[in-house]
Chain A
Amino acid sequence: MDLEWMAWTPVTAGFFIAIGGMLVGMGIWQYISPTIERKGFLPIKTTRGDRFFIGLLTSAYINIAWVGLTSWSLWFAVPICIVWLIIVLRFG
């Protein structure tokens, strides 16, 4: 099938491969050692998957805020997001 209409670029392809890889990784991790629901600094009880989702969604907001409020390159926001994601996964 012709995929031209989807207008792939290396950057977005890399982005989706990374997201897909993380999802698969989370799935395998869950399979090997199932998560236990617990309460961290977030106001609700969460499982590992919940925290992963919250981390990703807030990362998206961080990126949007970065673009909207600053004029620096978006690449600087990426490490911030990774650190944030780890914090949420570990302590959230």
Chain B
Amino acid sequence: MEKWDNNNAWFLVLPVFIIVAFSAIIPLMTVVNYSVQDIFGPGERIFVGSEWFKETLANRRLHEALWRQFLFSGLVLLIEMPLGVMIALAMPKRGWGVSFSLVTLALPLLIPWNVIGTIWLIFTRPDIGLFGFIINSMGIAFDHTASPLDAWITLMLMEVWHWTPLVVLLAYAGLRAIPEVYYQAAKIDGASAWATFRYIQLPKMRGVLTIALLLRFMDSFLIYAEPFVLTGGGPGNSTTFLSIYLVKLAVGQFDLGPAAAFSIIYFLIVLALCFVFYQVLQNVGKGERV
């Protein structure tokens, strides 16, 4: 069905436009302004051109943070996607179990992000945390405040615990949308469980899984509060991701210029990813929504 052409629809969008423009455009303009100046205080600033960009692009700590970020996001996807699909396949299809499962799954998603950090901080401490205690009593020294590897393991555990439910919910929604006829056909053909998965369920879930993949990638790319509470970016800089480093620069050291230049580069990366996301979503929508 065709949409109606009507430019007066702009008036309906106007309130949203004003609110979001106020929250998005003014701050972004300010960031751009900051990025080309050296600011000492109110009213005391000099124009430095692309100096901060040059400095930021050559900053080794930032390169490290960027690679760390990609590694983290990659690992997160590698674990969460298969696990999420597996759990979704095991979910009950009807009965009281459905409501129960959905509510349980959504629970971690509704916990404030810093509380997530706190939960895992308590849970993995060697002295009072169940996880830390068990690992240490097995004779493995585990301390996420001292060893970078342990910090990464703890962060990954937390991230998988926190966000796999989102993948499950998406995959489950995709599974529920498959008409029962397909399964009956598969049954008549005597298809194995694997064949049913490979040739019916997986192709039908392609849309939602793509969405899950991109959402998880974007969100893990922007992660801040949980590692901030759990490790504070340490030990050393071993878990300093992009957002943590940026907040350190902007609020901790109040280096407005470099922080702004960094912000713009960060934003441009996200913008490109976002564009890809949007294109994929448009095409998924075309294929599946009638």
Q: For A53, what are the chain B residues with a Cβ–Cβ distance below 8 Å?
A: 275
A21-74 contacts to B (CB < 8 Å): 31, 44, 53-54, 57, 60-61, 64, 67-68, 74
Least Cβ–Cβ distance between B48 and chain A, in angstroms: 10
Q: How far is the CA of A13 from the CA of B57 in the complex (A)?
A: 24
A60 to B275, CA, bound (A): 14
Q: Which of B26-70 contact A (CB under 8 A)?
A: 26, 29-30, 32-34, 36-37, 39, 42-43, 45, 47, 49-50, 53-54, 57-58
The 3 closest A-B pairs by CB, nearest first: A68-B57, A7-B33, A67-B53
A4 & B57 in contact (Cβ 8 Å cutoff): no
Of B29, B36, B37, which is in contact with the most chain A CB atoms at under 10 Å from its CB?
Answer: B29
Q: Judge if A91 is at the interface, Cβ distance under 8 Å.
A: no
B53 touches A7 (CB 8 A): no
Q: State whether B42 touches A11 (Cβ < 8 A).
A: no
Question: What number of residue pairs across chains A and B have CB atoms under 8 A from each other?
Answer: 54
A61 to B33, CA, bound (A): 18
A9 near B54 (CB under 8 angstroms)? no
Task: Write the nearest CB–CB distance from B263 to chain A, whole angstroms.
Answer: 13
Closest to B7 in A: A31
Supplied contacts A11-B49, A67-B54, 11 more A-B pairs, CB within 8 Å? A4-B42, A9-B47, A12-B29, A12-B33, A12-B36, A53-B275, A64-B57, A64-B265, A64-B268, A68-B53, A68-B54
Number of interface residues of A (CB under 8 A): 21
Spell out B's residues near A (CB within 8 Å).
7, 26, 29-30, 32-34, 36-37, 39, 42-43, 45, 47, 49-50, 53-54, 57-58, 265, 268, 271-272, 275, 279
Chain A residue at smallest Cβ distance from B267: A60
Q: If the complex has contacts A7-B45, A9-B36, are A57 and B271 also in contact, measured as CB distance less than 8 A? A: yes
Contact status A15-B32, CB under 8 Å: yes
A9 contacts B37, C-beta separation under 8 Å: yes
Q: Shortest beta-carbon distance, B228 to chain A, in Å?
A: 26
A21 to chain B, nearest CB (A): 15
Asked if B53 and A64 make an inter-chain contact with CB atoms under 8 angstroms apart, the answer reads yes
Shortest Cβ gap from B38 to chain A (Å): 10
